[in-house]
Amino acid sequence: MSVVVPSSLLPASAAPAFRGRIGRSADSGHYAVPHRYRLHVAPADPGCLSIAVTHALLGLDATLPLRLLPEVPDGPGGSYTALRPLYEASAHLYTGPAAAPVLGDAWTGRIVSTHAPDILRDLALRFRGDGPDLLPEEHREEIDALAALCADGVHRAAQRAGELGLDPEAGARRAAEEALGTLFAALASLDARLTGRPYLLGHAPTLADVHVWGALVQLDTVHRWHLDAAALHRVADHRALWAYAQRLAAHPAFARHLDVDAVLRRHRAHCRGREAAGAAIRIVDWGAAGAGR
């Protein structure tokens, strides 16, 4: 059964979280059945892109349909009008945003989950079938740690550095330098892991690679617009990491739903921040690498 957090208990900017999970058997309510569920994603969003990549790695086209949404929501507050009926059927008197991603249950016409990390884990654990093991048991703690590193050490650190970096006030500049230090430390850690190996945890992709690659896409397509040239050159100095990003961008499962122009259109639709001197610097030629669009 889905757990819904009422909008009255959340910050105004947050979407209510549907946190249902896919269980092992019919006793759990939601369990993996071919053709029962639908995934609704906008791959220009980082969480949705990670879900789309995982869906492709597992080869789920025939059993779990993927419904693609445009990069820019067509309703207020980040809503998609196509998802509104699902949200309203899933929560009585629902008035919050109808945002992606959504894992929907076609049998009930309701939402199972809108929480990207849970959806990723359930795809890997419950819908795997004969596909690759993207969440090997012996590496689960490590994968969770790498996901947290991407969220805090890459995405949030780069976002904070970009927000504060153009502020001439001394305190803001110091905070921006601290955020950049966090970012550079995270990138150095990932770069060291990838020296001499094709993937983060060995010779096959896992959810760790999905998390890290998605963070690198955002860093080089979105966050770079708000970092100065000196910072971008230091980011680019992690050669093993960016070679890995370019290599994965040529992998069919990663390339399939990568559309850099769509990512930028989504970013520009809601971003009003100033651009920095690093905006013209591109580390990876994502368009050349990702030919699967």
CA dist 179 and 159 (Å) reads 9
pLDDT over threshold 90, residue 289: no
Separation of CA 221 from chain center: 13
Q: What is the pLDDT of residues 249-275, one digit of tens each?
A: 999 999 999 999 999 999 888 876 666
Place of tokens 């399939």: 256
Peptide bond into 205 cis (omega under 30): no
Q: For residue 100, with 0-12 CB atoms within 10 Å meaning exposed, 13-18 middle and 19 or more buried, which class applies?
A: buried
Q: How large is the greatest C-alpha to C-alpha distance in the chain, in angstroms? A: 59
d(C-alpha 78, C-alpha 71), whole Å: 10
Rounded to a whole number of angstroms, the distance between the first and last alpha carbons of the chain is 35
pLDDT tens-digit profile of 14-31?
Answer: 444 799 999 987 877 899
Which CB contacts under 8 angstroms, 24+ apart, belong to 74-78?
78/15, 78/270
Residues 49-107: tens digit of each pLDDT: 999 999 999 999 999 999 999 999 999 989 999 999 999 999 988 989 999 999 999 99
User: Which of 261, 272, 266 lies closest to 78 in space, CA to CA?
Assistant: 266
Task: Judge contact between 218 and 153, C-beta under 8 A.
Answer: no
What CA–CA distance (Å, rounded) separates 108 from 96? 21
In 3D space, the residue among 280, 200, 281, 291 whose CA is nearest the CA of residue 241 turns out to be 200
Give the H or E element holding residue 40: strand 37-41
User: Looking at residue 77, what is its pLDDT?
Assistant: 87
Q: How many CB atoms lie within 10 A of CB 141?
A: 9
